[in-house]
Structure 1
Amino acid sequence: MATRAQAQSILEQLAGPGASLRDDQWTAIEALVVHRRRALVVQRTGWGKSAVYFIAAKLLRGSGHGATVIVSPLLALMRNQVAAAERAGVRAATINSGNVTEWEGIHQQVAAGGLDVLLVSPERLNNPDFRDNVLPSLASDAGLVVVDEAHCVSDWGHDFRPDYRRIRTLIAELGAEIPVLATTATANDRVVHDVATQLGVGGRDTLVLRGGLDRESLRLSVVHAGNPAQRAAWIAAQLDSLPGSGIIYTLTVAQAQDVAALLRDQGHPVAAYTGATDTTEREQLEADLLDNRVKALVATSALGMGFDKPDLGFVVHLGAPSSPIAYYQQVGRAGRATESAEVILLPGAEDQDVWRYFASVAFPSETMVRNVIAALEPDRAQSTAALEPLVDLNRSRLEMVLKVLDVDGAVRRVKGGWVGTGVPWEYDEDRYRALEEARQREQQAMLDYQKTENCRMAFLRSQLDDPDLTDGEQCGRCDNCTGARYAATVDEATLAATRERLRRPGIEIAPRKQWPTGLASLGLDLKGRIGGGAEPGRAIGRLTDLGWGARLRRLLDAPDDEAPDEVIQAAVAVLKAWEWTARPVAVIALDSETHPKLISSTARRLAELGRLADLGTLHYAPGRRRVTAANSAYRVAALEGAWEPPRIDCDGPVLLVDDVVDTGWTMTMAARALLDAGAAAVLPFALASVS
């Protein structure tokens, strides 16, 4: 029988010889390992929830039980969990969208009993191959099933991660002797009830461990600094004075990239981190923040749960999240091993517009959903791309609807796409209305948090129904408790520079720094950092920009033609503002099947106006492979050798011109082809960036 001494020994491997097992940690471990119970653990960030399941996994494996399956929502969280497992001698692997080429080998390890812990994303649970060939054996003989960040079941629900709802089915199919652990740091009474309902861990045999949520190191502040330009200027002015390194959260991908570019222009070492950032780039950026090579990552919620930097000195929000639960989750990244950390909210009038937008693209109407069901066939798989022209939904919303219908049993995902099951489907109007009402209450709570004159930490704890909070309790650290406040204004020079930067055309295209993992299995000897690749590039604007976005979308949607003067003038303005190390001496256009005139005329006009050598077009090679894969490794493999060897008759940097930058791999591989042909350096330039 497992003992507390054994658990303490494993904890020391995980966290160091000075670590001491908490009483509640042992209570949870004992319930899982000795009594084979189900448990729901709600404890603040830094309490040690991951230690509970890794220790339990090790003890269960040692007593002859099967591998532990951890359902984990984010790649950053998975990477930290695998690293932590290895410290305790736990053999762990992860299956996620970022390591496609490794899946087969991991499946074989699972079948051979060579893993102690398998981390999977909720989406994996319905991958046809994983669901049909791997999951049954895991479910039949798992040592433990863990649902990490279990509040996702409630707060993300149908409109963000519908696959999390599938966990209820997984747990229902488990044997009675298989223990289940659900963990989260952010759950009010509603979320606790909803998680218990969704996961089926709310029965009489469930142990609920719920602790206090005060974070004694956090100093909470709210600064009403004005419009977006004023708030961005405020961050630029204050960033150097904030302690250590930290995270600047934004509500949208475009805002994260704009603010990162703005801060870099003013000399701050920062980088953008969003859901659009490739997996390998995320790993590098996380490492840069962990090692303090950047002052901050300007991030969306993609950098959140599970990212573990104990000495993170500050978290700034440029725009308020839509719920206290989301806000507490994100600020919990700071001050886990420091005496003090700054937590600053810079709310904006447009925040509510962003909230409304995300709510509007949640679950579609019943009519739209039934149109999707009607378009499906029972005996022929149809891909999402094939279904898209048949229904009035864009790709992302269609995929979300299909996943929800899959969870509800009305459709089934198979190899090759989706099929209808014929199972009757009912629109759960009561559930969606209740979710909308809860969303409205939590949005109002975030507005109230900004205005409250009482203790801010007590406010957040009350919203999370903290069982340890007492009436009238104050943290003694926040701006309201201490009266110490940040000035909301910045000097005119900083504000003017910020406004000018945000108005002018031109955004940075960050170069790829890291090769995707798994290229060796695709026949390419490329790994690690990309040495001597393209320089940082520029584009006129993003397709999502308020200013240039609409014009660029019209340009790219129109029939292919010569570049208009307006676009050339904007391109010249971007090139003039580009502070390159060495000015380009030549320009070359990328071959294109959709906009050959637009791209080649842009390159030709820039060559004329800039007195650059016109190298013509980098033509595709006959018989090249089509680039259709979304996965980075497969995109790189398809682009290797995609162009005819160019002739580089110049001695200096070459400007490489394309219409749109999306993943960045086309520019990266084309630049590699130019460098191999003798280009001194490659400066990527595109008319537009997707994000």
Structure 2
Amino acid sequence: MSAPAGTATREAAEAHLRALVGRDDARLRDDQWRAIEALAVDRRRALVVQRTGWGKSAVYFVATLLLREAGAGPTVIVSPLLALMRNQIAAAERAGIRAATINSTNIGDWEPIQEQIAAGQIDVLLVSPERLNNPGFRDEVLPRLAATCGLLVVDEAHCISDWGHDFRPDYRRIRTLLDDLPDGIPVLATTATANARVTTDVETQLGSVGRDEVLVLRGSLDRESLRLGVVRLSTPEQRLAWLADHLAEQPGSGIVYCLTVAATQEVADYLRSRGHDVQAYSGQTETGERQALEQDLAAGRLKALVATSALGMGFDASLGFVVNLGAPSSPVAYYQQVGRAGRGLDARSEQATVVLLPATEDKDIWAYFASLAFPREEVVRETLAVLAEEGAPMSTAALETRVELNRSRLEVMLKVLDVDGAVRRVRGGWESTGAEWVYDADRYARVREAREREQAAMVSYLGTDECRMWFLRDQLDDPEAVRCGRCDNCGGLDLPTSVAADSVDGARERLSRPGVALSPRKMWPTGLDRVPNAESLGIAGLKGKVREQAAEGRVVARLTDLGYGGALRELFREGPDGPVDSAVPGPLVQAVMAVVKDWRPGVDDGQRIDAIVVAESVSRPTLTTDLADGLSRWLQIPVAGHWAVVDPDVPPGRGAVNSAQRVAAVARRCALRADPGALEGRSVLLVDDLVVTGWSLALAARAVLAAGAVAVHPLALATSG
């Protein structure tokens, strides 16, 4: 008597699983089988919310093999990161699955891949979400994929939701793809980080009228191989010293997460000076180098990567630890980061260590990233008006010269407007659709309030005496959340909280070394000739390379730095009525002097500085004049000119988020004031307080050089980046 159809299908599914993982004893979990059955047998839509390492990829790969055997078309996987694609392709090939990817780095392969799909030679196609709104892909490739695919998979599906910790506008386009699928094409959405609100939102977007109810499978989010702990230390040098003292004690290889790119470089440099084999990793790391670093970490050739959250989704390796130097802004984001550790470990005999070292500056960094949220309504309306007035497609580069947003924020806003139907991406750029658009202030306010609640919850995590894994699972609305028995609060992890005095002294010495190189602007922003009143402002002819260029300058530190960053953030803080003005505090005076002594501006070129030009400030006039006057007395050189505010009606921050707009605003606001011949033949120290975009210094240097100076050396207290 033959086995029931369901039993035979499950046996076939488990045979595929064994080939995928390379183990003869591999068996599907019940929920894995339920998901596979829903997709490959019932042709339904399913949402799987399961912890990292549970085996979500096994579900869609096994379902793919079953569907292909039944004559279905290829599986299309929408995947957010190239690292994730690389890992998934490698896993697919182990099971004999023919996989390919279409993304921005392999445009030359698109046509042959499409030919292979048409010939039935591709089983799995991985697509980056950004491709979904590329005009050529959207209009030519996507309709064919929607009509012929056998399974659609949306990986990291929390990115669909406004409420998800990593919302991405490109993922909103998936809703259109879902609506275009023929009946009977199964859909799988997967994520490890979705609370109840996000789960409901994604479920709603997966469902549609007339279809079967979406199968939602939420499992326990416990990570049995993780031991969580928090070490609270009051100063940056104590935290850095603790990390250097105890990094070697952490099991295996792992990740040290930092909140900023600058911190990854600073921390990695210090750890290497203490003999640790580490490297820095961020979104600014070149693609080929990132791949090599990922491979070195996975193979254990590095003790750690000191990384931003760019090393997050998509990195699949068995790591022994994660240390966070600074807290992420939400427990959900933190849960995802710690999920990089403990994968592939046998929780009965192996444990991964997770340590959080919170810092007082964390909230400042959260506030900065929060300021990059969806733009104000008037900025959105201005953008729509410009597109409507143009009446033809505009590139992002052309559009950014007309609105006060930087390139990345403008791109994100346009993608949201595209999904909302107000604009459309076409060949040549963006165009207005003419459709009415409503600024959903209530929704943006709700999202902002949700983010603020998440930040408050993260602060609570730091101080809780409850089980830490329970706390994270509870934040993710895991109904099975219980005490883990493994964390520091449960007594399963004992973390040292003292730091050797000599280690603290060494870290303090490293952090107290002031001085960060300040590179001059090298290229003028595009489209300055299209800025209103460009001719009268004298900027219409500025394009290409900046010829009248300052030398490399110096600042004491970045605002985000671990050492002097705290003192500088306090100096530049905003009060209830605006910027707080004061003289330069003594410790920062000493730091400025140390920077100048070490830097010796102009000496190497035989052009010792012999004059000062001060960049005036309306918001902090005492600070800038105090700094310039003090340097004049110490160096015994005159203040020979001012980069003066001639139009105070132009606000200090006007255009700060957009290069072309910033150049125009600075050209309106400031001009060089100096006696005739006062700068002729001089090597000038150009003194400023805070460098945000660098364009004010670029225009000031241009004016000083035009007045006869032979060199310009910028010096400022801080830079924001």
Same fold (TM over 0.5): yes
**Residue pair 1:74, 1:302 contacting (<8 A) in 2 also:** no
Q: Which residue of 2 aligns with 1:16?
A: 22
- 3-state DSSP of counterpart to 1:468: coil
Corresponding residue to 2:512 among 490, 503, 507: 503
Aligned length: 544
Q: Which residue of 2 aligns with 1:370?
A: 381
C-alpha separation between the residues in 1 aligned to 2:94 and 2:553? 44
C-alpha separation between the residues in 2 aligned to 1:475 and 1:64? 46
C-alpha separation between the residues in 2 aligned to 1:158 and 1:546? 22
Q: Which residue of 2 aligns with 1:585?
A: none
Using a 3 Å threshold, how does the CA distance of structure 1 residues 430 and 257 change in structure 2: closer, same or farther?
Answer: same
Using a 3 Å threshold, how does the CA distance of structure 1 residues 109 and 567 change in structure 2: closer, same or farther?
Answer: farther
C-alpha separation between the residues in 2 aligned to 1:285 and 1:16? 26
Q: Which residue of 1 aligns with 2:412?
A: 400
Q: Which residue of 1 aligns with 2:158?
A: 151
Q: Which residue of 1 aligns with 2:205?
A: 198
Q: CA deviation at 1:395?
A: 1.5
Corresponding residue to 1:458 among 470, 481, 488: 470
Q: CA deviation at 1:447?
A: 1.0
C-alpha separation between the residues in 2 aligned to 1:78 and 1:401? 26
Q: CA deviation at 1:604?
A: 3.9
**Residue pair 1:568, 1:606 contacting (<8 A) in 2 also:** no
Q: Which residue of 1 aligns with 2:442?
A: 430
Q: Which residue of 2 aligns with 1:313?
A: 320
C-alpha separation between the residues in 1 aligned to 2:67 and 2:85? 21
**Residue pair 1:217, 1:340 contacting (<8 A) in 2 also:** yes
Corresponding residue to 1:487 among 496, 514, 531: 496
Q: Which residue of 2 aligns with 1:583?
A: none
1:256 equivalent in alignment to 2:264: yes
**Residue pair 1:381, 1:414 contacting (<8 A) in 2 also:** yes
Which residue identity does 2:27 align to in structure 1? Answer: S
Using a 3 Å threshold, how does the CA distance of structure 1 residues 62 and 508 change in structure 2: closer, same or farther?
Answer: farther
**Residue pair 1:71, 1:120 contacting (<8 A) in 2 also:** yes
Any residues of structure 2 matched to 1:164-563 within 5 Å, and which?
164-200=171-207, 204-310=212-318, 312-338=319-345, 339-377=350-388, 379-469=391-481, 473-482=482-491, 484-504=493-513
C-alpha separation between the residues in 1 aligned to 2:163 and 2:277? 33
Q: Which residue of 1 aligns with 2:85?
A: 78
Which residue identity does 1:372 align to in structure 2? Answer: T
**Residue pair 1:568, 1:605 contacting (<8 A) in 2 also:** no
C-alpha separation between the residues in 2 aligned to 1:242 and 1:158? 28
Q: Which residue of 2 aligns with 1:621?
A: none
Q: CA deviation at 1:176?
A: 1.4
C-alpha separation between the residues in 2 aligned to 1:569 and 1:118? 57
Q: Which residue of 2 aligns with 1:141?
A: 148
Corresponding residue to 1:60 among 59, 63, 67: 67
Q: CA RMSD in A?
A: 3.2
C-alpha separation between the residues in 1 aligned to 2:719 and 2:221? 41
Which residue identity does 1:440 align to in structure 2? Answer: E
Q: Which residue of 1 aligns with 2:663?
A: none
C-alpha separation between the residues in 2 aligned to 1:541 and 1:124? 40
Q: Which residue of 2 aligns with 1:4?
A: 10
Any residues of structure 2 matched to 1:85-124 within 5 Å, and which?
85-124=92-131
Q: CA deviation at 1:165?
A: 1.1
Using a 3 Å threshold, how does the CA distance of structure 1 residues 33 and 348 change in structure 2: closer, same or farther?
Answer: same
**Residue pair 2:206, 2:214 contacting (<8 A) in 1 also:** no
Which residue identity does 1:16 align to in structure 2? Answer: G
Using a 3 Å threshold, how does the CA distance of structure 1 residues 490 and 31 change in structure 2: closer, same or farther?
Answer: same
Q: CA deviation at 1:603?
A: 7.0
Compute the TM-score of the two structures, normalised by the length of structure 2.
Answer: 0.70
Q: CA deviation at 1:689?
A: 12
Using a 3 Å threshold, how does the CA distance of structure 1 residues 411 and 482 change in structure 2: closer, same or farther?
Answer: same
Using a 3 Å threshold, how does the CA distance of structure 1 residues 605 and 174 change in structure 2: closer, same or farther?
Answer: farther
Using a 3 Å threshold, how does the CA distance of structure 1 residues 100 and 255 change in structure 2: closer, same or farther?
Answer: farther
C-alpha separation between the residues in 2 aligned to 1:79 and 1:603? 48
Q: CA deviation at 1:336?
A: 2.1
- 3-state DSSP of counterpart to 2:435: coil
**Residue pair 1:42, 1:210 contacting (<8 A) in 2 also:** yes
Q: Deviations over 1:82-102 (max 9, x none)?
A: 111111111111222343443
Which residue identity does 2:240 align to in structure 1? Answer: A
Q: CA deviation at 1:52?
A: 0.3
C-alpha separation between the residues in 1 aligned to 2:99 and 2:234? 48
Which residue identity does 2:89 align to in structure 1? Answer: V
**Residue pair 1:261, 1:507 contacting (<8 A) in 2 also:** no
Which residue identity does 1:346 align to in structure 2? Answer: L
Compute the TM-score of the two structures, normalised by the length of structure 1.
Answer: 0.73
Using a 3 Å threshold, how does the CA distance of structure 1 residues 328 and 178 change in structure 2: closer, same or farther?
Answer: same
C-alpha separation between the residues in 1 aligned to 2:269 and 2:597? 19
- 3-state DSSP of counterpart to 1:376: helix
**Residue pair 1:125, 1:163 contacting (<8 A) in 2 also:** yes
Q: CA deviation at 1:362?
A: 0.6
Q: Note the residue ranges of structure 1 that are not aligned, 5 or more in a row.
A: 510-537, 551-565, 576-597, 608-686
Q: CA deviation at 1:428?
A: 1.3
- 3-state DSSP of counterpart to 1:480: coil
C-alpha separation between the residues in 2 aligned to 1:287 and 1:46? 19
Which residue identity does 1:205 align to in structure 2? Answer: E
C-alpha separation between the residues in 1 aligned to 2:720 and 2:361? 22
- 3-state DSSP of counterpart to 1:209: strand
C-alpha separation between the residues in 2 aligned to 1:394 and 1:502? 32
- 3-state DSSP of counterpart to 1:349: coil
Q: CA deviation at 1:204?
A: 4.7
1:50 equivalent in alignment to 2:50: no
